[in-house]
Amino acid sequence: MHAIEVTETSGPEVLRYVDAAGSVYRTRPLRLHFIRTRDEFTWRTDQLFDAIATGTVKVNVSSRFALKDAAQAHRYLEGRRGVGSVVLTP
């Protein structure tokens, strides 16, 4: 079994479950493992934003908070209440 840790929010709960499976190794990929130059980064982000704009990639926004409510947004994230992106709006 191979677990890929994508963000900090995968946290110890997920890792305990994975550890219980036995014969496991974990990978935590970083951008620098896949994108080496600024030009490549720009090219790939352009591809991503084009895919979002055309609907090929869907972005799941679980919640929106006013910027003045950033502390509340942090509590929301810390409580692991959302699935998807949390957006701060001006």
15-59 pLDDT, tens per residue? 555 555 566 666 666 777 788 899 999 999 999 999 999 999 988
pLDDT score, position 85: 85
Average pLDDT over residues 8-12: 53
pLDDT score, position 49: 94
Average pLDDT over residues 64-81: 91
pLDDT score, position 48: 93
> Cα separations (Å) of 87 from 9, 10, 32, 72, 73?
16, 19, 25, 12, 9
Q: Could you tell me which of 23, 69, 57 has the C-alpha nearest to residue 86?
A: 69
Q: Are 65 and 41 in contact (CB under 8 A)?
A: no
> What is the DSSP pairing of strand 85-89 with strand 2-4?
unpaired
Residue 79 or 1, more confident: 79
